Structure formats: structure tokens, C-alpha cells
Amino acid sequence: QKEVEQDPGPLSVPEGAIVSLNCTYSNSAFQYFMWYRQYSRKGPELLMYTYSSGNKEDGRFTAQVDKSSKYISLFIRDSQPSDSATYLCAMYNQGGKLIFGQGTELSVKP
């Protein structure tokens, strides 16, 4: 069983839809939860990071962490075709290694 589980999709939504991306993890010692976005033929870029349970908002993006359930989410409001990319959740384990989810491929159709 992987330490971080993420549905690989692909996920296809119409423009303007609300997108929900999720990851579960097994190790309660994980901290610093991140979401990366990766466009085709590019390296991942950091979208958001959170440390504690709760919500963090940045424009159309909201990151949510529920440590009691070992569950993190990324919500995208008013999705745009430019949001089409692979979204990766990631978190640091206690050894200082960054552990990634499988990535969810998102396509936003005009």
C-alpha cells in the first residue's frame, strides 16, 4: 500500500465547474501538505501548502486538511481551460522526504 493515495483520474469537467481533488495518507506523522500543478512537458510547480488542519484559500483555489481522517483536498472554483494539468499532492514524512501522490490528470473543457 502506498503511503499517499490519489485517484489518477483522468477527470474531465466543463469550464466553470467546481473541481475537487483528494488524497489520503497513512502516516499520522506526515506534515506540511502541498499541492503541485504540472503542465505537460514541465516540472511541477507549487500551488499551495498547509501545515495544520483546516482550510487555506488563494484566489480560486482552496486547500483543506483533515489530519484526524488523514485526508487532504484541493478545490478549484470556476475552473478554466488553463487549469488543465496534472495535480499532485505531496507531504513530508518524518525523515524529511517529500512523498507524492500518483497525480490526478484534469481536463477542463471550454
Partner 1 sequence: KAGVTQTPRYLIKTRGQQVTLSCSPISGHRSVSWYQQTPGQGLQFLFEYFSETQRNKGNFPGRFSGRQFSNSRSEMNVSTLELGDSALYLCASSLEAAGSYNEQFFGPGTRLTVL
Kindly compute the dihedral angle of the four CA atoms of residues 24, 28, 31, 33, in this order, to the nearest 10 degrees.
Answer: 10
Binding mask 37-76 toward partner 1 (x if CB under 8 A, else -) reads ----xxxxxx--x-x-------------------------
For partner 1, give the closer residue by CB, 76 or 91. 91
Closest CB 43 distance from partner 1, rounded Å: 3
* CB-based burial label for 87 (10 Å; 0-12, 13-18, 19+): buried
Rounded to an integer, what distance in angstroms lies between the CA atom of residue 66 and that of residue 74?
12
Cell of 47: 500551488
Smaller CB separation from partner 1, 5 or 13? 5
Q: Return the residues of window 87-106 that contact partner 1 according to CB under 8 A.
A: 88, 90, 92, 95-103
Class of residue 23 by CB neighbours under 10 A (exposed 0-12, middle 13-18, buried 19+):
buried
* Contact flag: residue 18 with partner 1 (CB under 8 A): no
In whole angstroms, the minimum distance from the beta carbon of 68 to partner 1 comes to 21
* Interface with partner 1 (CB under 8 A): 32, 36, 41-46, 49, 51, 88, 90, 92, 95-103
